[in-house]
Structure 1
Amino acid sequence: MAPGVLDVNRFDGTVLHLSHATSSARDGGVAAAITDLITAQLNAGGSAEWLTAEHWPAWCRDRQLRRAATERKPALAHLHGLWRSPTRIAPALARTGLPVVVSPHGMLDPWALAHSRWKKHLVEMLWEQRALHSAVALQALCQSEADAIAATGLTAPIALIPNGVELPDPAAALPSPPWSDLLPPGGRVLLFLGRFHPKKGTLPLLMAWGSLVAEAERHGWWLAMVGYGDDGSLARMVERQGLPRCSVHGPCFGEQKAACLSKAAAFILPSFSEGLPMAALEAMSWSLPALLSPACHLPEAIAAGAALAVDPEQVVLRHRLIQLFNLSEAERSAMGAKGRELMATRFSWPRIAHQTAELYGWLLGGGEAPDFVQQPRR
Structure 2
Amino acid sequence: MRILNICAYTWEIGGPARIIYDHTTEALKMGHEVDILSPMTPGDDIYEIPTGARVIPCRRSTPVSNFYREFSVDLYKHLKNHVHEYDLIHIHGIWHFGSLAPFLIKNKVPKVITIHGLLDKWAVNHHKWKKDLVSFLYQKKILAKADLIQINNADEEENVIEYLGYRPKNLVTIPNGIRMEEYRNLPVRGSFRQQFDIPDDKKLVLFMGRINIKKGLDLLLPAFAAYLKVNNDAILLLAGPEDGYLAETKKFIADHQLTDRIRYVGMLTDTTKLAALADADLFVLPSYSEGFSIAVLEALAAGVPALVSDRVGFGEYIRQYNAAYLSPLSVEGVEKGLSDMLEKASTRAEFAQRGREMVAENFDITRVAQKMLEAYNTVLPT
TM-score range, shorter chain: 0.7 to 0.9
| Cα 1:202–1:65 shift into 2, 3 Å | farther
Equivalent position of 1:56 in the other structure: 59
Q: Deviations over 1:272-319 (max 9, x none)?
A: 111011100111010111111111132212321220111221111111
Give the equivalent residue in structure 2 for 1:80: 92
Shift of 1:62: 4.4
Aligned partners of 1:260, 1:249: CA distance in 2, in Å? Answer: 11
Counterpart among 315, 318, 342 of residue 358 in structure 2: 342
Residue aligned with 1:192, SS: strand
Asked if residue 285 in structure 1 is aligned to residue 285 in structure 2, the reply is no
Higher relative contact order (CA 8 A, sep 6+): 1
Is the CA contact (8 Å cut-off) linking 1:56 and 1:64 kept in structure 2? Answer: no
2:200 equivalent in structure 1: 185
Aligned-pair CA distance for 1:68: 5.2
* Structure 2 gap segments, 5+ residues each: 41-57, 62-71
Between the aligned partners of 1:31 and 1:108, the Cα distance in structure 2 is 19
**Secondary structure at the counterpart of residue 212 of structure 1:** helix
State the alpha-carbon separation in 1 of the partners of residues 255 and 195 from structure 2.
22
Q: Does residue 1:42 correspond to 2:54, yes or no? A: no
Q: Equivalent residue for 2:69?
A: none
Q: Distance in 1 between matches of 2:381 and 2:349?
A: 46
Take 2:82 and 2:324, find their aligned partners in 1: how far apart are those partners? Answer: 41
Cα deviation code 1:131-165 (max 9, x no counterpart)? 22220110001110121112222624211111111
Provide closer, same or farther for how the CA distance between residues 68 and 305 of structure 1 changes in structure 2, counting only shifts above 3 A. farther
Aligned-pair identity (%)? 26
Instruction: Give the residue type in structure 1 aligned to 2:162.
Output: A
CA deviation map 1:221-243 (0-9, x unaligned): 22111112237412343123212
With over 3 angstroms needed to count, the CA separation of the structure-2 counterparts of 1:173 and 1:212, relative to structure 1, is: closer
Three-state SS of the structure 2 residue aligned to 1:249 is: strand
2:3 is matched with 15
Give the direction of change, closer, same or farther, for the CA distance of 1:78–1:309 in structure 2 (3 Å limit).
same
Check if 1:152 corresponds to 2:163.
yes
- Render the CA deviation track for 1:244-295: whole Å, top value 9, x for unaligned: 6221221112222222212111111101111011100111010111111111
Over 3 Å counting, the alpha-carbon distance change for 1:24 and 1:89 in structure 2 is same
**Where does the alignment leave 5 or more consecutive residues of structure 1 unmatched?**
1-12, 367-378
**Corresponding residue SS for 2:177:** coil
Q: Note the C-alpha offset of 1:176.
A: 4.1
Look up the match of 2:131.
120
Q: Paired residue for 2:80?
A: 67
Q: TM-score, normalised by structure 2?
A: 0.85
Match of 1:141 among 152, 159, 164: 152
Equivalenced residue count is 347
1:13-70 CA-to-partner distances (Å, cap 9, x unmatched) read: 1221111x22121x22111211111112223443332222222241624422422551
- Equivalent residue, structure 2, for 1:254: 270
Once residues 185 and 368 of structure 2 are traced to their aligned partners in structure 1, the CA distance between those partners, rounded to angstroms, is 26
Distance in structure 2 (CA, Å) of the matches to 1:176 and 1:156: 51
Matches within 5 A, 1:92-103: 92-93=104-105, 95-103=106-114
Q: Aligned in 2, Cα 1:358/1:365: closer, same or farther, shift over 3 Å?
A: farther
Moved over 3 A (4+): 44-47, 169-182
Q: TM-score, structure 1 length as denominator? A: 0.85
Counterpart-to-counterpart distance in 1, 2:14 and 2:196 = 27
2:103 corresponds to: 91
Change (3 A) 1:68 1:344: farther
Q: How far, CA to CA, are the matches of 1:251 and 1:160 in structure 2?
A: 30
Q: Secondary structure at the match of 2:290?
A: coil
* Residue 350 of structure 1: how far off its partner (Å): 0.4
Measure, in 2, the Cα distance between the counterparts of 1:178 and 1:69: 49
Residue identity opposite 1:18 in structure 2: I
Of the structure 1 ranges 33-42 and 53-62, higher mean CA displacement relative to structure 2 is found in 53-62
CA contact (8 A) 2:193 2:279 kept: no
Matched with 1:24 is 11
Partner of 2:221: 206
Partner of 1:369: none
Q: Aligned partner of 1:163: which letter?
A: N
